[in-house]
Chains A and B, each alone.
Chain A
Amino acid sequence: GENVEQHPSTLSVQEGDSAVIKCTYSDSASNYFPWYKQELGKRPQLIIDIRSNVGEKKDQRIAVTLNKTAKHFSLHITETQPEDSAVYFCAARSPLRGNEKLTFGTGTRLTIIP
């Protein structure tokens, strides 16, 4: 089955600097890669996603890149703000019927230092 690894497990950056979180996946059939943000005690919220026919996607201060050959994808947050502090999870999903579940990474706790 799919295996997703996520690094780093914790990340602290100064407010205004950029943050990068990286994930690798094992199943070359996976074709959908979402990123979720989870604030303390809250539900995971989808913040951005990318499909395998695209190499990069951007939404304001957030961008995701995908390298299908290397089977890795990354989340980039620019001009970080205190409200970006949260745990971020990457995930991968296979398109195969009967296997349509998300496999999550173990999470990155991002702390923005004011």
Chain B
Amino acid sequence: GAGVSQSPSNKVTEKGKDVELRCDPISGHTALYWYRQSLGQGLEFLIYFQGNSAPDKSGLPSDRFSAERTGGSVSTLTIQRTQQEDSAVYLCASSLTASSYEQYFGPGTRLTVT
């Protein structure tokens, strides 16, 4: 079946603008995770969802970042008033449930803030 998909694949935005990134998990996967990967860096956890609820928002870098998931499927990550340090690849992953171990990653959205 289809894997995790993300859109857009690339996004260039001006500093101060808002952006929305979308993640469509594997069908039937109830847990969804957002990570950020800065150039040449590791993966930084942002937030995860089990169903529509987010048990752990501890990784969100600031209150400019928010995420939602409705209907237990698609999730959007919103960054308000983007800053240059927000430039990174934003990766989404899903797993069958939050207690399942294997996470499968999407291709990521490369965000560039100019």
Interface, chain A (partner B; CB < 8 A)? 1, 6, 32, 34, 36, 42-46, 49, 51, 89, 91, 93, 95, 97-107
Contact = CB atoms under 8 A, between A and B. Distances in A.
Contacts of A1: 58
A43 B107 contact: yes
A93 B43 contact: no
A99 B56 contact: yes
Interface string B64-108: 000000000000000000000000000100000011011111111
B55 A98 contact: yes
Nearest to A93: B101
Interface in B14-45: 31, 33, 35, 41-45
Interface of B: 31, 33, 35, 41-45, 48, 50, 55-56, 58-59, 91, 98-99, 101-108
Given A101-B45, A101-B48, A95 B106 contact: no
Contacts of B91: 43-44
Given A99-B56, A100-B31, A44 B43 contact: yes
What are the nearest 7 A-B pairs in CB distance?
Answer: A98-B55, A106-B42, A104-B43, A43-B105, A100-B98, A32-B101, A104-B42
A46 to B, nearest CB: 6
Given A44-B43, A98-B56, A51 B106 contact: no
A101 B56 contact: yes
A107 B40 CA distance: 9
A14 B56 CA distance: 43
